[in-house]
Copies of this chain bind each other. A is one copy, B any other.
Amino acid sequence: MTKLVEFIPNFSEGRRQEVIDQISEAAQGVPGAKLINVNVEPSYNRCVHTVVGDPEAVLEAGFRMCQKAVELIDMNHHKGEHPRIGAVDASPFIPLEDMTAKECVDLCNRLGERVAKELQVPVYLYEKAAKRPERVKLQNIRHPEYEGLLELIDKPEWAPDYGEAKMHPTAGAMPLGVRNPMVAFNISLNTSDVAIAKKIAQSFREAKGGYAEARAIGVYLEDRNICQVSCMINPQIVSLYRIIEMVRSEAKRYGLSIIGTDICGMVSQSALMDCCEYYMQLENFDRKAQILEELL
């Protein structure tokens, strides 16, 4: 088994394509790390890069991207609808194959130390990498935004985890963390009544006593005149089929049915295979030995 890690830095640039391209190029020169996706959000004025590969290679590619973003993005001229505190914003490492969260936290600390030292950007660690309990939630670090943090950073409670208590003159500060792999999963219902979708979402979100790490909201989709239960799930803890069947059973109470589902972005093969085996009622299936592609 090869260790695999994912790194998904957010950069505060979603309009100047030449800047986004230079950040992408910075990620591409490291053997063992692969840039698998670049998502550009012009209205948020940010972009999200996804790099996957060997831990050391992803660390190096991650640093090079940060370096390029710090060089090219000036937060003094940045406007966008999404909360942010720096040129490199929320940047989580995610453990994939054969990798523990603890190993990701080590990687995260090494990157944070290097970014602070070599790029002079103060770093705040969040979620599983947090060193202070109040920094577990990313929103607690990001809520003052770039403009507010300029005033707050020299207060003791805002001391960075790496680097001096001083904003980088153009790149601000950087939130760096470790989180579990999450799947963005939507379940569509044959109703336009968003109140029902919201009630169903309550039935399994963690904040309401549901499944661990599960987030869920009910939303109305105007273009299709239907509602969705839109959720973020850690499929290593809760299988997607369990969410589907939970929504199906709650929806039945209102005489409603699931009319479709969709996955936004990436999902691991094992999360899909968990669903496949459940619904097919497969017994004694050996994924490594019986799936043809696994053997090649």
Contacts and interface: CB of A to CB of B under 8 A. Distances in A.
A275 B276 contact: yes
Interface stretch (A11-19, A20-28, A279-287): A279-287
B260 A283 contact: yes
A296 interface: yes
A223 to B, nearest CB: 14
Q: How many copies does the complex hold?
A: 2
Interface of A: 4, 6, 34, 36, 52-53, 96, 188, 240-241, 244, 258-263, 265-269, 272-273, 275-276, 279-285, 290-296
A263 B290 contact: yes
Contacts of A6: 292
B295 A283 contact: no
Contacts of A260: 281-283
Given A272-B273, A291-B272, A283 B296 contact: no
Nearest to A274: B276
A261 B290 contact: no
A284 B262 contact: yes
Contacts of A276: 272-273, 275-276, 279
A275 B279 contact: yes
A273 B272 CA distance: 8
Contacts of A267: 290-292
